[in-house]
Amino acid sequence: MAKFSGAKAQVFMDSMNNSSILNGTGTNQTVAGRKYFVISKSTGTPASSIPVQAGTFFIAPRTGTQLTLRVGDRLLAINEERFCKTSASFEFSQGSIDVSDDCDQGANILDGIVTFSGSLAGLFRYDDLTGEFDNCTEAVLNRFINIVEDNGSGVYSVTPRDDTNMYILVCLNSGGTTGTFENWLFCPIVLTSFSLSLGNTDAQSKDLSFSKGEGQPVLYKLRRA
């Protein structure tokens, strides 16, 4: 059985964006190979052809017939932005309930509530030409503070703080060969903390922590084409 280092895991992120929402019309279709988060599914007839439940992810077929979206289907098209990590840590946990009595002392059962949380660390990355942060870094900052852009000539734009869900997508075994499986970990998340490190003799770095947002985590196995 193969074993890989953490360097094989690639992390991508995206955030809720109204312009990326796709509403089913009964004739429009998915785009080949595109990743989607399912906001809702049609409950009418014919039934929705979306293969997973609302609140989770799927990838449109890379080849062959695309999925036709019914009225009531609502998808978020994921635009992956690479989070270039220096370290990453994820944790799944589940609570327990004490059901012990004098016939079965110390017994517990699971409460069925699975939580997902973790942390990511990486370096600040600036565009060589513009000096701007990469999109992923700016989206993370915008979860905690407003962003003001000043062109120096009296034109200002303000992006208010946005605390909507983000989405984490992790390819656990990148770089495989055709016919093998990619293992993707998908989950909607909320950012709970963000810290900067700006030591004079260190690289500028960022650390963030997150917890599961609205929706369900999933391990998605995709055969490489």
Return d(Cα 209, Cα 223) in angstroms, integer. Answer: 31
Dihedral Cα 21, 27, 31, 32, nearest 10 deg? 150
Structure tokens at 52: 């997973």
Question: Between β-strands 108-123 and 85-98, what pairing exists: parallel, antiparallel or unpaired?
Answer: antiparallel
CATH placement of domain 6-16+80-223: 2.30.110
E strand or H helix at 135: helix 135-142
Q: What is the pLDDT of residues 147-194, one digit of tens each?
A: 999 999 999 999 999 988 899 999 999 998 999 999 999 999 999 999
Share of the chain above pLDDT 70, in %: 100
Split at pLDDT 50, 70, 90, the class of 17 is: confident
The structure's pTM equals: 0.89
The pLDDT score that the predictor gives to residue 165 is: 87
Instruction: Give the Å distances, CA to CA, from 214 to 40, 164, 194, 211.
Output: 12, 10, 20, 10
Q: What is the pLDDT of residues 69-90, one digit of tens each?
A: 999 999 999 999 999 999 999 9
E strand or H helix at 106: none
In the block, tokens 């989950």 appear at: 187
